Structure 1
Amino acid sequence: MAKSRTSLRLAAATLLLALIPLSGLWMWKGRGPLTAQATLLVKRGATVDALADQMEREGLIRNAALFKLWARARKLQLIRGEYTLEPGASLSDVANKLKRADIHYTNLVVPVGAHAWMLQARLKSFMPEDVFWTLWKSPRLAKTAGFPDAESLEGLVAPATYKLHHAMEPEEILLTLVEAFRDKVLPSLDGGALPPYETLILASLAEKETRVPTELPKVAGVYAQRLRIGMRLQCDPTTLYARWLSGDLRYTAPTAEDLHRTSRFNTYTRAGLPPTPIAVPSPAAIEAAKVPSLGKDLFFVATGKGGHAFAPSLSEHNRNVGAYRREIRRQKKALAHG
């Protein structure tokens, strides 16, 4: 009988010892507590212990102690980034994602023609609005772009697609954009009739005036001629930029109020170029600003068919304006009867 009890105790002990690794294996490989997709941010300076405790506290994993043991055994080096965790992700899944540095990136597209308000809207999940506008006027970032005296970063970012993650710091994100400008755009601004920053400003005006690439040199030429003779540029997109600076963010055609607005950016009320670019210009617009088509034309107006009509005199320009208005009326009539 005593021998039988001893055998039972040995069997129980053996079973218990077997269950310990099985329990650990279940905690390691078993379904985790997540019921929906979650995001884990590993920020600069994060430690394994702090991250493990954070993950357990936020319900991403069940056992911080087991993760710490694994991380020390594998000498885990945390790579800063944004990690996406799927529902039911096991402790093993989470650990291996961190070990592989399987970072989730978001594509930020900065298109040609983008301006500050468009960029701020596209970066709203990466930084608070007030932080964006503070950094937008950072002298340090403007200096990095190559123009330390620029009052903002307008025009000082390269049109491109950037891979970002939410563990990046706001200044780091904008630094990425201006470094791309410094490397890819800044060298192309040399060699024009105007200084590089003024070339960038002129290019931005041409960019916002026409969507027809072949018209860019002609538009830049009209503005260059007006600058030469001291005539106001009267660039409609600058009136919209002045509107947005006033806090009115409507995207509509310029109004009479816009044309008469007192602003350093309104080229209807101020002579010369605006103090900064008004958008991100394309390489073609920069080349047009460097080598504008200097003919006799001083005016241009939309045709209503996708391009512009150019004219050397006000009388001819007024005829082109009349033709544009007739075309718009014709299109409205056609739509009404369509």
Structure 2
Amino acid sequence: MARSSVSLRLFVAIALLAILPALGGWWAWKGQGPLQREATVLVKKGMNINQVADQLERDGVIRSASLFRLWARARKLQLIRGEYTFTAQASLSDVAGKLRRAEIHYTTVSIPEGAHAWAVQRRLKDFVPEDVFWTLWKSPRLAKTAGFEEAEDLEGLVAPATYKLHHAMEPEEIMLMLVEAFHDHVRPRLDGGVLSPYDTLILASLVEKETHMVEEQPKVAGVYKHRLDIGMRLQCDPTSLYARWLTGDLRFTAPVPEDIRRVHRFNTYSVSGLPPTPIAIPSATAIEAAKEPLEGKDLYFVATGRGGHTFAPSLKDHNRNVGAYRKEIARQRRAARG
């Protein structure tokens, strides 16, 4: 009986010795990881498995870079560049699976219609350093990719859209994405207008910044086209603001007399014709208005103060409309004071 008891204990001991390594391996693979809080790891272009394993261990996502490397080589892991977010206590199995499935964390960034260069820069600031942005903004190669080799910068050459970005992307790659979207979705719509495609884009940007009312956009385009035809300065307020910003004065406020008087190649109060580039991203409706401006006698327009604009063919009529606008603004101020 005693001999049988000893044999049983020996068998159990041997079995445990055989099972323990397997249990240890299972725990190392499926057990809770060391990460104390959610963390993000970037797998950048050119990184190999050794570098990623070391990065994961260094950031406290996994305990053993060596074990990760063994798994990655056994599974022939194909690393997909991207931004990966790992939850607290994620197991090695969770970490490996997320990389294998390329579960990249994206951030959506919207570039809206009407946005100008400074607005685009602010929206991309977490992905494109400011100095790099302004260098790429002047890139002839990117302008050519957009479809306008003659453009001096990318103003207006960015498609208004929502983009999916991650922090492992290179700044130039992000800017390329924006201009390629313009080339594919906006550039084809600029053909067939009364002006050249690039001039159509410039005119559309003026229309976009003057009014968002779709029904008014052909009228505004018509006024500017009429002025271009007779050699009259456009006197577009938004261009005077754009000239202000180009001088380094980044107050995003209404134009003041100083802006109107500023001699600048973008200020259409001081120079004739269209500005050298667009001044913002135009909408599809503004582009259509610039392609087919409404023909008429109107040469002036002014805000009504109630939304929309009043149009006039003569300076006398325009001045009467300006007076009506000022009275409306004064009335609204009196009402606001109670």
The offset of 1:136, in angstroms, is 0.5
Aligned to 1:267: 268
Structure 1 counterpart of 2:29, which letter? Answer: W
CA distance in 2 between partners of 1:55 and 1:81 (Å): 14
Instruction: Find the aligned partners of 1:268 and 1:249 in 2 and give their Cα distance.
Output: 20
Q: Which residue of 1 aligns with 2:181?
A: 180
Structure 1 residues 264 and 9: CA distance shift in structure 2, 3 A: farther
Does the alignment pair 1:192 with 2:209? no
Taking the aligned partners of 1:11 and 1:298, their CA distance within structure 2 comes to 100
Structure 2 counterpart of 1:109: 110
- Residues 1:20 and 2:21 aligned together: yes
Q: TM-score, normalised by structure 2?
A: 0.96
Question: How many angstroms does 1:16 deviate by?
Answer: 3.5
Distance in 1, Cα, partners of 2:289 & 2:217: 6
Bigger Cα displacement from structure 2, 15-24 vs 192-201 = 15-24
Match of 1:94 in 2: 95
Query: What is the count of residue pairs matched by the alignment?
Result: 337
Offset, 1:13: 5.2
Code of the residue aligned with 1:64 in structure 2: it is A
1:207 paired to 2:208: yes
Q: Give the structure 2 partner of residue 216 of structure 1.
A: 217
How far apart, CA to CA, are the structure 2 residues paired with 1:24 and 1:242? 67
Q: Provide the residue aligned with 1:158 in structure 2.
A: 159
Residue type of the alignment partner of 2:277: T
Name the aligned partner's letter for residue 125 of structure 2.
Answer: K
Give, in angstroms, the shift of residue 15 of structure 1: 2.7
How far apart, CA to CA, are the structure 1 residues paired with 2:3 and 2:291?
A: 102
Sequence identity percentage? 69
Q: What residue is the counterpart of 2:245 in the other structure?
A: 244
Secondary structure at the aligned position of 1:181 is classed as helix
Q: C-alpha distance in 2, partners of 1:270/1:120?
A: 28
Which residue of structure 2 aligns with residue 317 of structure 1?
318
Q: Does 1:76 align with 2:77?
A: yes
Do structure 1's residue 233 and structure 2's residue 234 form an aligned pair?
A: yes
User: How many angstroms apart in 1 are the aligned matches of 2:114 and 2:224?
Assistant: 18
Distance in 1 (alpha carbons) for counterparts of 2:211 and 2:131: 32
Counterparts of 2:12 and 2:135, CA distance in 1: 70
State the partner residue of 1:42.
43
Structure 2 unpaired stretches of 5+: none
Shift of 1:10: 6.8
Alignment partners' CA distance in 1, 2:146 and 2:120: 17
4+ long deviations beyond 3 Å:
1-14
Output aligned runs, 1:296-311, within 5 Å.
Answer: 296-311=297-312
**2:110 partner letter:** V
Aligned AA (2:210):
E
| 1:36-76 Cα shifts (integer Å, max 9, x gaps) | 21111111112111100111011111111111111111111
Query: Residues 253 and 6 (structure 1 numbering): CA distance in 2 closer, same or farther, change over 3 Å?
Result: same
Q: Confirm or deny that 1:31 pairs with 2:16.
A: no
* CA drift at 1:175: 0.7
- Residue aligned with 1:36, SS: coil
What is the match of residue 130 of structure 2?
129
Which residue is equivalent to 1:276?
277
RMSD between aligned alpha carbons? Answer: 1.7
Q: Which residue type is aligned with residue 183 of structure 1?
A: D
Distance 1:8 1:57 in 2: 43
Instruction: Give the drift of 1:2.
Output: 11
Cα offset for 1:9?
7.1
1:90 CA drift (Å): 1.1
Alpha-carbon distance between aligned partners in 2 of 1:45 and 1:67, rounded to the nearest angstrom: 18
Structure 1 letter corresponding to 2:67: L
Shift of 1:263: 1.6
Give the partner amino acid of 1:215: E
Match of 1:287 in 2: 288
Q: String of CA shifts for 1:273-305, please: whole Å, max 9, x gaps.
A: 110000110111111111101200000000011
Once the two structures are overlaid, the 10-residue window that deviates more, 43-52 or 117-126, is 43-52
Structure 1 alignment gaps of length 5 or more: none
Distance apart, 1:106 and its partner CA: 1.1
CA distance in 2 between partners of 1:21 and 1:266 (Å): 76
